């Protein structure tokens, strides 16, 4: 069987990680600008002020996308580039940038998939309480309406939010990411609820404004695979994947059950007790607006087995297990088991919105970038994804992370995830061996993996 004929092969980036031009074209300040410009947060003091200069070089980058053969490009829209103060007056130069990007993509046969929010929260709204402010869902809805009205004629596919697990868990719980806060569990849970309300309101706005729009959501989360194929271990992995652990911010079910099932997981509700957020009578109905597809960012999973008492225990990884340059484990079975479990639970078509690896890439003496580990990673993971599809998991697309090396948040330019090597001093782009490997996968629709 292999991949479906209409399978969406794509690549992904995010505005803050590639655009640069942080103070050009009328763009407002984001929480990440403020965070990066304060010493001590980012690897070697790097900033995203220039990043990949995609703001000025997007036409060149679209030509590389066309050469790669991707059918879709997932990018994010910078909220402060559209609304410099988060609300109020619209920045026409910001709108024009995304109009021209969408036009360039469409003229080259590439479908734009836009993410409304990929972490670059307007600093002006942060000063008003950010996601903790009860007005934050309305702010996001108003921003979404501007995007839909001004760009909906060109962009028909949207994701609302990218990885709320990260921007709440890392930004407001442990302070590793912008804005670098350490909030109470109660406040973080309230922010999470506001985030989900913002998602629901954005879905409503997109459907209200754009005829025929296709809408999804792009979370991530801790996932697990069975240590063996024994039925009890498979059930243990399923249970672990949808559990609500003490580190709840990376729970899949806490962020996805309300969206897809219209309810919070009972185990979490019991555990949080008085820390539970204030939930209005219509909130869960609003949050669970129907979606056309369910995105998931998947990089790795952990092995578990049944504990003999209806639960699960984690299994140690083998000595010397494969790791990426980021020190993440290489677990190809992630792209088999996690989509399988997600589709069984949510019965909504799946899109892999991010998957890839950081490697120790460098330009070799021959002027090329040889990244055999990424080529191998791509083949192994996609084989597992194909196996799941052949067994009935409804996966509609795959977006490789990332199109090009970029600003990797607190890791700065110290990690390279791209299919295209970027020399950040000169902005020269060099397609890597993995670029050509993925090009072959796309041209053959994955038949010879």
Question: Per-residue confidence at 380, pLDDT binned at 50, 70, 90?
Answer: very high
The continuous run of DSSP H or E covering 60 comes out as helix 54-68
Instruction: Write the pLDDT tens digit of every residue in 133-162.
Output: 999 999 999 999 999 999 999 999 999 999
Whether 102 contacts 140, CB under 8 Å: no
Residue 226 belongs to domain with CATH number: 3.20.20.80
379: helix, strand or coil? helix
Kindly state the average pLDDT of the residues 313-321. Answer: 96
Spatial CB neighbours of 320, under 8 Å, sequence gap ≥ 6: none
Q: Is residue 2 part of a domain?
A: no
- Quickly list DSSP for 164-189: HHHHHIIIIIS-SSTT-----HHHHH
As annotated, the active-site residues are 163, 354
Identify which of 278, 292, 285 has the alpha carbon closest to the alpha carbon of residue 216: 292
- In angstroms, the Cα distances linking 147 to 77, 115, 140 are 9, 11, 11
**Cis ω for the linkage preceding 179 (within 30 of 0):** yes
Rg of the chain over all Cα atoms, to the nearest angstrom: 21
| Strand ranges inside 307-437, DSSP E | 312-314, 350-354, 395-401, 420-423, 428-431
Is 448 a member of any domain? no
pLDDT band at 421 (very low <50, low <70, confident <90, very high): very high
pLDDT for residue 351 is more than 80: yes
Say if strands 395-401 and 8-12 run parallel, antiparallel, or are unpaired.
parallel
Q: pLDDT tens, 190-246?
A: 999 999 999 999 999 999 999 999 999 999 999 999 999 999 999 999 999 999 999
How many whole angstroms separate alpha carbon 252 and alpha carbon 261? 13
Does 113 reside within a domain? Answer: yes
- Residues forming the annotated binding site for substrate? 17, 118, 162, 299, 401, 408-409
Q: What is the maximal distance between C-alpha atoms in the chain?
A: 64
At 233 the pLDDT is: 98
Arithmetic mean of pLDDT, 154-173 = 98
Closest residue by Cα to residue 9 from 443, 448, 447: 443
Nearest Cα residue to 276 out of 284, 261, 264 = 264
- pLDDT above 80 for 1: no
Range of the domain at 334: 8-443
In this structure, is residue 257 part of a structural domain?
A: yes
The predicted pLDDT at position 19 comes to 99
- Mean pLDDT of the residues in the chain: 98
12 domain-assigned: yes
pLDDT for residue 353: 98
Helix (H, G, I), strand (E, B) or coil at 124: helix
Residue 3 forms part of a structural domain: no
Give the CA distances from residue 384 to residues 258, 274, 295, 335, 354, in Å, rounded to whole numbers and listed in that order: 28, 42, 17, 6, 15
pLDDT bracket for residue 439 (50, 70, 90): very high
Provide DSSP, 256-316.
HHHHHTSS--HHHHHHHGGGPPP--TTHHHHHT---S-EEEE----EEEEE-SSSSEEE-P
Q: Are 283 and 197 in contact (CB under 8 A)?
A: yes
Whether the upstream peptide bond of residue 130 has omega within 30° of 0, thus cis, is no
- Residue 396 within a domain: yes
CA 19, 49, 173, 199 dihedral sign is negative
Given a contact cutoff of 8 angstroms between Cβ atoms, the answer to whether 297 and 355 are in contact is yes
Model confidence at 366, in pLDDT bands (50, 70, 90)? very high
d(CA 197, CA 256): 12
Helical spans, DSSP H, in 69-161: 79-82, 92-107, 123-126, 136-151
To the nearest whole percent, how much of the chain has pLDDT over 90?
A: 99
**In what helix (H) or strand (E) does residue 217 lie, and over which residues does it extend?**
strand 214-218
User: Of 370, 399, 378, 388, which is closest to residue 330 (Cα–Cα)?
Assistant: 378
| pLDDT of 169 | 98
Which residues, at least 6 apart from 411, have a Cβ–Cβ distance to it below 8 Å? 42, 43, 326
Let me know: does 168 contact 131? Beta carbons within 8 Å.
Answer: yes
pLDDT for 129 beyond 80:
yes
Q: What's the pLDDT at 236?
A: 98
Q: What is the DSSP letter of 45?
A: G
Q: Mean pLDDT throughout 11-26?
A: 98
User: Which DSSP symbol is given to 215?
Assistant: E
Residue 316, domain member (yes or no)? yes
Spatial distance between the Cα atoms of 41 and 36, rounded to a whole number of angstroms: 7
User: CA triplet 416, 417, 420: central angle to 5 degrees?
Assistant: 85
State how beta strands 157-162 and 294-297 pair. unpaired
User: Quick one: which H or E segment has residue 8?
Assistant: strand 8-12
Annotated binding site: 17, 118, 162, 299, 401, 408-409
Number of domains in the chain: 1
Give the number of residues written for the chain: 449
The H helix count followed by the E strand count for the chain is 16, 13
pLDDT band at 2 (very low <50, low <70, confident <90, very high): confident
pLDDT for residue 448: 87
Query: pLDDT at position 402, please?
Result: 98
What does DSSP assign to residue 39?
T
């Amino acid at each position: 069987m292999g991949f479906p004929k209409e399978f969406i092969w794509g690549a992904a980036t995010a505005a803050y990680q590639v655009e640069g031009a942080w103070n050009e074209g009328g763009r407002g300040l984001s929480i990440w600008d403020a965070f990066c410009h304060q010493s001590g947060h980012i690897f070697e003091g790097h900033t995203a002020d220039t990043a990949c200069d995609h703001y000025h070089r997007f036409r060149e980058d679209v030509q590389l996308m066309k050469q790669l053969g991707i059918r879709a490009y997932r990018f994010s829209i910078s909220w402060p580039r559209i609304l410099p103060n988060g609300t109020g007056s619209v920045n026409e130069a910001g709108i024009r940038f995304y109009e021209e990007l969408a036009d360039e993509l469409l003229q080259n046969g590439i479908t734009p998939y836009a993410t409304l929010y990929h972490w670059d929260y307007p600093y002006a709204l942060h000063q008003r309480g950010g996601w903790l402010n009860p007005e934050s869902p309305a702010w996001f809805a108003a921003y979404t309406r501007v995007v839909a009205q001004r760009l909906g004629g060109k962009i028909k596919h949207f994701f609302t939010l990218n990885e709320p697990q990260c921007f709440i868990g890392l930004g407001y719980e442990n302070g590793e990411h912008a804005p670098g806060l350490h909030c109470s569990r109660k406040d973080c849970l309230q922010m999470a609820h506001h985030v989900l309300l913002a998602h629901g309101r954005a879905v409503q706005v997109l459907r209200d404004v754009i005829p025929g729009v296709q809408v999804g959501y792009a979370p991530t989360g801790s996932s697990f695979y069975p240590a063996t194929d024994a039925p009890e271990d498979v059930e243990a992995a399923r249970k672990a994947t949808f559990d609500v652990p003490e580190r709840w911010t990376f729970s899949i079910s806490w962020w996805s059950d309300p969206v897809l099932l219209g309810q919070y997981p009972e185990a979490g509700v019991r555990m949080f007790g008085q820390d539970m957020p204030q939930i209005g009578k219509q909130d869960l109905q609003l949050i669970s607006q129907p979606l056309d597809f369910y995105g998931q960012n998947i990089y790795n999973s952990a092995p578990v087995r049944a504990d003999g008492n209806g639960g699960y225990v984690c299994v140690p990884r083998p000595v010397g297990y494969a790791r990426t340059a980021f020190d993440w484990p290489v677990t190809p079975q992630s792209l088999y088991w996690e989509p399988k479990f997600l589709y069984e639970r949510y019965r909504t078509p799946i899109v892999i919105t991010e998957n890839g690896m950081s490697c120790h890439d460098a330009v070799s003496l021959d002027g090329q970038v040889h990244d055999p580990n990424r080529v191998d990673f791509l083949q192994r993971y996609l084989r597992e994804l194909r196996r799941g599809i052949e067994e009935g998991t409804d996966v509609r697309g795959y977006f490789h992370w990332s199109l090009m090396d970029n600003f990797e948040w607190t890791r700065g330019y110290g990690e390279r995830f791209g299919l295209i090597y970027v020399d950040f001093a000169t902005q020269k782009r060099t397609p890597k061996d993995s670029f050509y490997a993925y090009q072959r996968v796309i041209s053959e629709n994955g038949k010879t993996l």
